[in-house]
Structure 1
């Protein structure tokens, strides 16, 4: 039964060695171990604070990026609106120019038609006058072939002429 129940001497030496080991560990090992644990805890706290700060910076960067994106969208919309306005102005200007050009061409065509009409009327008048003269000449030749008819015609003209 020696194996189950230890003797007093064995218990004494085991207790003494345990207490010595405990004192040595308390004096030399626990302070560095606790110090390193404290350093580790501080570094973890520092890392958590840095992570929180990084999170705040990321939020501010995200807000800044969203503001920049909103500004860019607003500027893009303004540029598109200005482009649309310029395009509309160009279209209006082109319509106005086309209308003015069409009116000018129409007016020129009317003037050309009027001139050709006047020329045609003048030509018809000249032709009618020439025909009238030709016809009158033939009639006069026939009537003036007789000397008595010639004298009668001269007398009629002299009666029509008024003397001043």
Structure 2
């Protein structure tokens, strides 16, 4: 094998011409398309990261709003419980007061009826006593003397 230096020089010159032509017409546009593609992908990645951060922020805000709504709901429920307990206590107290009032009224009515019955009984006993006494004594006693006699008799009976 002989080394042919003309072939080597020709191959090197052909390679350099091919490299220059490829660099000018193929690599330049190819590299610019690849650079545009790299920029587009980088912009999309940046946009995606911004969107992700915005979504996380929005999600945190929604979680906070949901937690606040839960707290408010629990507060409303607790307030309703407190109010209902208070109203129930008020109703029970009102019912007790009404029952005590009715009981007191009934006791007053009983005392009043008792006093009326005692007064009626006194007048009736007085009248009967006078009749009996007038039949026994056979003398007519006037009304005032009769009442005095009955009152004295009742005092004696009441003290026993």
Q: Normalising by structure 2, what TM-score?
A: 0.71
State how far apart, in whole Å, the 2-side matches of 1:130 and 1:63 are.
99
* Shift of residue 47, structure 1, vs aligned partner: 1.0
State how far apart, in whole Å, the 2-side matches of 1:21 and 1:87 are.
94
Match of 2:71 among 70, 74, 91: 74
Q: What is aligned with 1:126?
A: 123
Aligned length: 133
* Shift of residue 140, structure 1, vs aligned partner: 2.7
CA RMSD of aligned residues (A): 2.6
Q: What is aligned with 1:47?
A: 44
State how far apart, in whole Å, the 2-side matches of 1:100 and 1:52 are.
71
Which protein, 1 or 2, shows the higher relative CO under an 8 Å CA cutoff with sep ≥ 6?
2
* Shift of residue 25, structure 1, vs aligned partner: 3.6
* Shift of residue 82, structure 1, vs aligned partner: 1.2
Q: What is aligned with 1:85?
A: 82
Q: What is aligned with 1:36?
A: 33
Q: What is aligned with 1:58?
A: 55
Deviates further, 61-70 or 21-30: 21-30
Gap runs ≥5 in structure 1: 1-14, 145-164
Gap runs ≥5 in structure 2: 1-11, 141-160
Match of 1:138 among 126, 135, 140: 135
Q: What is aligned with 2:108?
A: 111
Structure showing greater Rg: 1
State how far apart, in whole Å, the 1-side matches of 2:89 and 2:54 are.
52
